[in-house]
Structure 1
Amino acid sequence: MRRPMAKGNRPKGEAGLGIRDLRLVHTSLLGKWRWKLLSHEVDEVWKEIVIARYGSDIIGKRFLGDVDVPRIASSWWGDLCKLDGISNWFSLAVGKKVGRGDSTSFWNEIWVGGQSLRQQFPRLFGISAQKQEVIQNLGGMIDGQWRWNLLWRRNRFQWEEDQFRELCDIIAQFTPMDYHDSWLWLGDGIQGFTVKSAYGLLEKMEPSTRILQPVENFVFKRLWKCAWPSKTLRLCGNCS
């Protein structure tokens, strides 16, 4: 159950004191580290240390959870992996822009449609010989057109052919572009990930304790613009 927003954490126009919720600030700052881990560029010492301790597969991984927290993990790493909670707020605010297909898993990431191909075609995934390959390694350009080269551990059964044709129809739209794959922050499509945008996203998910009446809205929208010192107004707000 989510904790109701405290009076002091509400905006000034909503009868609050305009104080930031430190719990949400902490979560937003952790989101910045998660965002940096999505990049495959290992050019920072801290990232090299994280890879050495927790494995290279955590780089570029949208979903982190309990399975990624070993028994000897630091509390910081545990908090980072459990950042999403039950709402998956971070993972749902992250998208992938596929270019060359050089860092996007063909089966395990969402890059066509609303599900991963592994989720849509679990039977075909089970017999694939390329379960962990990126898109770029599953085909090539032939006569100016992209051709897929999907490999299987065994011959497909007749009833699996319908699924295979459906898979081919879905991935036929892919054409590699001349740029690297990149992550997108859907929480703010203009600036990309920022702690401020993450905080705003989390704040919208917080339930409000009460709805202000029209008269209260009128008063509190103007209260903080009056000539009284803000310190005095805060004291008054704490007494109410």
Structure 2
Amino acid sequence: MNNNYDKFSEYYDIYTSFVDYELWSKYIYSLAGKNLNNKNILDLGCGSGEMLLCIDEMTNANLYGVDISEEMLSIADQNAFFENKHLNLIKCDMSKFTCDIKFDLIYSACDSMNYLLNEDDFTDTLNNAYEMLNENSIFTFDIINKDYLETNDDFSCENIDFIIKRKKEENYLYTNIKIYEDKKETENIRHMQRLYSAEEIIDIYDKTKFDDISFHDFLTTKEIKKTSDKIQIILKKY
């Protein structure tokens, strides 16, 4: 998965060009429930840094991003440079990342947590986040809903075509991404993600020190449904 993730890095911003990062980042910021000026914010699985750069527009905070892909971090650094901004970027598997810095908001976006393929890594990520959080702070992340039936879809853009096929098999979602240039296939990338249900997340939560957990239908504060394609989870440390 990691090698494929690296391959996809140069196409990632094009592939996600439809994502409304401004709306999404405002949603994440609102979940924090407090002013984050001059505070520390951590993005686990930061990718090309777009979410962090949008959050930077809302607050004068110290921004940190962790990603397993050196190529992704290089793009994030370039994106920050072009916008005359600074991001503290760290290459690490997010399930293993720890540091002495205390954060007032930790988040993970774009179903990055679904790349944690076993419950032990998921639990480690949550426990590490707890230790890095200040009191009265949250770790929030979105996941693909295990109960949601994925469909195939196509994505295309100028000069580069993406054909994306997704297949759900038991607890996993397999995504094949074919990239074409001048109608010739140049890359065939395969991703695997672990699907988690709300009940499984609660079982993992019970193995952590977090004081509270809540679930929202993605980008809302409404209760989740079986038909919710994505779920937002908020873990609180009092």
**TM category, shorter:** under 0.3
Give TM-score scaled by structure 2 length.
0.26
- Name which structure has the greater RCO, CA cutoff 8 Å, separation 6+: 1
Q: What is the TM-score normalised by the length of structure 1?
A: 0.26
Higher helix share: 1
* Bigger-Rg structure (1/2): 1
